[in-house]
Amino acid sequence: MDKYYKPGEQINGYSITEMLAEGRYGIVYLAESHESKKYIIKQLKKNMLRETKEKLFYEEVLLKKLDSPCFPKFMGKFNLPNAKGYILEYMEGQVFEDLLMEDGHQFTKKEIYEIAFKMLDIIAILQKNNIVHRDIRPPNVILTDSNELILIDFGLARYIDNKKYVKKMDYWYLGDFLIHLYYTSYYFDETEEERPWYEELDLTEKEKVFLQRLLEIKESYVELDEIRSDLKELEESFL
């Protein structure tokens, strides 16, 4: 039976503020240190420890390797009689999932291009460290008050081996992520039949091809420079 920590209780000297989320694999808390600095605590569920062992290993190893404000710092692990897990730096901002689902923010094409360029910068840092994230989705990307992006949740991230784990996995996720942003300005008419995204969305032919290449519907991109070049061309044609 998993222990659920209440506000005020402590884990490794960190005081629990609130429970943020609960999933199949664990429980996520917001916590504070003695200096009132915020942290994220991920408590792994006991019945899933075997399955989460690999996730924890890569979350620790890869985040320790990455030294950038684009990613949370791995602060440490805890192994208590009634709870196991790890502690991460708290990253201020709002996850895109909330922006899309709760706030109903409609992203302009200018904003989408700006976000895409910033995501390419993040992917470039990952590739420089031989890492593929494999989970670039709205719940795992944070938008800060200064309009910077932060990528979180490295449980599925792996070292690139050019066999099972390849760079273009993150290109696919980037394409899917951008389509979510395009859909914020789409009006759903319940009387119409559902169509493919490239027919429903208000896209130029170049935008369609760009997204289709990211998603490997058309000839897939190989290098980031090619993606960046095509994105720059899209941006210039829009201005």
Q: What count of residues does the chain have?
A: 239
C-alpha span between 15 and 34 (Å, rounded): 8
Q: How many CB atoms within 10 Å of residue 119?
A: 22
Catalytic annotation present for 98:
no
Beta bridge partner(s), residue 11:
14
Q: What DSSP letter does each residue of 51-115 carry, written as one string?
A: HHHHHHHHHHHHHHH--STTSPPEEEEEEETTEEEEEEE---SEEHHHHHHTS-----HHHHHHH
* Euclidean distance between the first and the last CA atom of the chain, given in angstroms as a whole number: 57
Rounded CA-CA distance 178/156 in Å is 20
CA distances from 208 to 44, 112, 212 (A): 41, 14, 6
Q: 139-158: string of b/e by CB count within 10 Å (b at 16+)? A: ebbbbeeeeebbbbbbbbbb
Please tell me which residue in 103, 135, 145, 202 is annotated as part of the active site: 135
User: CB neighbours (10 Å) of residue 69?
Assistant: 11
Question: Which of the residues are catalytic?
Answer: 135
